[in-house]
Amino acid sequence: MTAAVEARARSEFDAEIRQETTPLTAGERQRALREFDVVVPTLGDQFDAASFAGVSAPRCRLLANFGVGYNHIDVEAAKTAGIAVSNTPGAVTDATADTAMTLMLMTARRAGEGERLVRSGQWQGWHPTQMLGLHLTGKHVGIVGFGRIGEAIARRCHFGFGMSVSYLARSEKSPGFAVTRADSLIDLAANVDVLVLAVPGGAGTRHLINADVLAAMQPEALLINIARGEVVDQAALIAALQARRLAGAGLDVYEFEPEVPLALRQMEQVTLLPHLGTATEEVRSDMGHLALDNVAAFLAGNALISPV
């Protein structure tokens, strides 16, 4: 937690704060469920069905997740064990949309590759056809998942870059500016210059972007993923990039995070960020405060602010 959130946790609650940055081990998850009234887990802390099954009479009554994504928690198993779950929607939206734009621009304009060139000392100087990239202004973006973050990305693309926006979601959206709902994922993939992923992770979206979707994309198109690594069949993405069936990818998340395959790391046309979506002090504090607001509401016997 940021210093501000740690200070609040210590002042409002009898809090034990774990300082390690690695995910909770199976033993730690069981201790958390057994000994604490409330646990504030985060990405990587695998509260799967086995974690709940392993503790017969949990003391824990709430998992107040730090993060909007909760695909690491088996919510049904938690509820069966009598444990509520909350998350931190909204606080993450703008920062994550900004990261999507960072990846779009870096990948379209070859910024990572260019920076590596300068740092290598090998740059020979400007010339009219040096490192030509994709001009983003006015292009067609397709957004898979049009919730809070998907819409915030669309807003940036529409108002900031004059792009036309198409989207795929389970329901019709009316954001107040021109967007077109796609008939299918294949149709969306086939018609856009940039395909951006903004769906939740979990079983319902695992490998949503598979070899067929990648094959439908145009060879000049880019794939951007700020959602969850498992949404993309990573092996299929590597094969498609190696065969130049799409021009590049910008990734903030990976299927087997934090492992990033050498094949991806070796490709110049791929921008790789270490899951930076919400990584600013302000946003991480807002997320932490929302998690603690949920804890406070729960312990006071009130409704959760952002239940899952």
The β-bridge partners of 64 are 86
Q: In this structure, what DSSP letter does residue 294 have? A: H
Name which of 33 and 213 has its Cβ closer to ligand NAP: 213
From 101-109, 146-154, 188-196, 295-303, give the range in contact with ligand NAP by CB under 6 A: 146-154
Please give the angle made by the CA atoms of 249, 204 and 155, to the nearest 5 degrees. 50
Q: Is 122 in the site for ligand NAP (CB under 6 A)?
A: no
- DSSP assignment of 226-242 equals -S-GGGB-HHHHHHHHH
Report which secondary-structure segment, H or E, holds 78. Answer: helix 75-80
283 scored as a contact of ligand NAP (CB under 6 A): no
222-225 and 248-251 as β-strands: parallel, antiparallel, unpaired?
A: parallel
Q: Which of residues 246-265 bind ligand NAP (CB under 6 A)?
A: 252-253
C-alpha distance from residue 47 to each of 10, 39, 68, 183 (Å): 24, 11, 15, 35
Query: What is the DSSP annotation of 163-177?
Result: -EEEEE-SS----SS
116 is catalytic: no
Q: How far is the CB of 288 from ligand NAP (least distance, A)?
A: 14
Interface mask toward ligand NAP for 59-78; x: CB under 6 A? ---------xx---------
* Residue 67: CB minimum distance to ligand NAP, A: 7
- Candidate residues 23, 54, 200, 261; the one interacting with ligand NAP per rule CB under 6 A: 200
The stretch among 25-33, 130-138, 221-229, 295-303 that binds ligand NAP (CB under 6 A) is: 221-229
* Nearest to ligand NAP of 179, 253 (CB atom): 253
Q: Is the peptide bond prior to 258 cis by the omega test (within 30 degrees of 0)?
A: yes
Beta bridge partners of 180: 166
Is residue 257 annotated as part of the catalytic site, yes or no? yes
One of 228, 245, 284, 289 is an active-site residue; which one? Answer: 228
Q: How far apart are the first and last CA of the chain?
A: 21
Strands, E assignment, the chain:
38-39, 62-64, 84-86, 140-144, 164-168, 180-181, 194-197, 222-225, 248-251, 270-272
Residue 256 Cβ vs ligand NAP, minimum distance, rounded to whole Å? 16
Q: Could you say which of 227, 236, 237, 246 contacts ligand NAP (CB under 6 A)?
A: 227
23 makes contact with ligand NAP (CB under 6 A): no
Q: Binder to ligand NAP among 86, 166, 278, 306 (CB under 6 A)?
A: 278
Binding site for ligand NAP (CB under 6 A): 68-69, 89, 92, 96, 145-150, 168-171, 198-201, 204-205, 226-228, 252-253, 275, 277-278
Q: Which positions are annotated as active-site residues?
A: 228, 257, 275
